[in-house]
Amino acid sequence: MKTIRIIFAEDHVLVREGTRQILDSEDDIEVVGEAADGIEGVELVKRLKPDLAILDIAMPRMGGIEATREIKKIAPQTSVLILSAYDDDQYVFALLEAGAAGYLLKDVSGAELIRAVRAIHAGEPVLHPAIARKVMARFAEKKQRGPQQPPEGIALSERELDVLRLAARGMSNAGIGQELSLSSRTVQVHLTHIFSKLDVASRTEAVITALRRGWFKLDELE
């Protein structure tokens, strides 16, 4: 069983210690570093190359939005999960644009946080469905072009585009597999190839990239 390596950036020591205890209690999760602000978090990612960075939004010196941007620049394969007290649209959109793979509020249970960590590591989205729909609509509205093939240098196959389109509808790997007559394992392999080609670390990033580039339109996701 592969261990999910995590760094956690949060300026409140009590929250940081409590969250670490929850995460480290799981056999397949290991917190390899803690940070008190965004700058320390970015440095930890640069040095440790973790699978996942969990960030707060409001931190001294560098907040979660800027830290997310920096992390995706230096370690694009490190996923970012936001754990925040704020649910304002401006934060959600800014963080997803910066490259965050998921967004949770701090009132979630420990079990929900563990599920989110495992889901993001498996390439599953971690967004409330209502938020996800607004996000998809926002990015799709920026691209009014019809569907088109990815540009030269990003050669997604027709099957990969089908998988990505269904992922944009919020379907699970099992649901995508059922729709396309594929096993869940095969769907995950396709998603892994998509992530590699797009240089992203999560399903959320891949879908947003596709919508930004106009590879499919919002009405195709109904």
- The strand ranges marked E within the chain are 4-9, 29-35, 52-55, 79-84, 102-105
Structure confidence at residue 136 (pLDDT): 63
- Range from 52-61, 77-86, 136-145, 208-217 carrying the lowest mean pLDDT: 136-145
Beta-carbon count within 10 A of 218 CB: 17
Task: Say whether pLDDT at 212 is over 80.
Answer: no
- Mean pLDDT score of the chain: 83
Residues 150 and 178 in one domain: yes
Task: Say whether pLDDT at 106 is over 90.
Answer: no
Residues 80 and 151 in one domain: no
Looking at the structure of the chain, the number of domains it has is 2
Q: Which of 92, 121, 150 is the last residue of a domain?
A: 121
Q: Is residue 98 part of a domain?
A: yes
Structure confidence at residue 84 (pLDDT): 84
Residues 46 and 103 in one domain: yes
* Nearest by Cα to 13 from 82, 66, 59, 45: 59
Report CA dihedral (99, 12, 63, 92) to the nearest 10 degrees: 50
Which domain, by its residues, includes 29? 4-121
Residues 147 and 43 in one domain: no
Residues 8 and 117 in one domain: yes
Task: Say whether pLDDT at 65 is over 80.
Answer: yes
Q: Give tens-digit pLDDT for 116-152.
A: 999 888 877 687 655 666 666 666 555 444 444 444 4
CATH number of the domain where residue 71 is located: 3.40.50.2300
Q: Is residue 126 part of a domain?
A: no
Structure confidence at residue 122 (pLDDT): 82
| Residue found by looking up tokens 């704020």 in the block | 86
Q: Which of 70, 92, 121 is the last residue of a domain?
A: 121
Q: Is residue 62 part of a domain?
A: yes
Three-state DSSP state, 199: coil
Quickly state the pLDDT bin for 114 (edges 50, 70, 90).
Answer: very high
Q: Is residue 113 part of a domain?
A: yes
**Identity at 9, one-letter amino acid code:** A
Residues 107 and 150 in one domain: no
Structure confidence at residue 27 (pLDDT): 92
Residues 199 and 105 in one domain: no
What is the percent of the chain where pLDDT is above 90?
A: 36
Q: Which of 95, 121, 147 is the last residue of a domain?
A: 121
Q: What is the pTM of this model?
A: 0.69
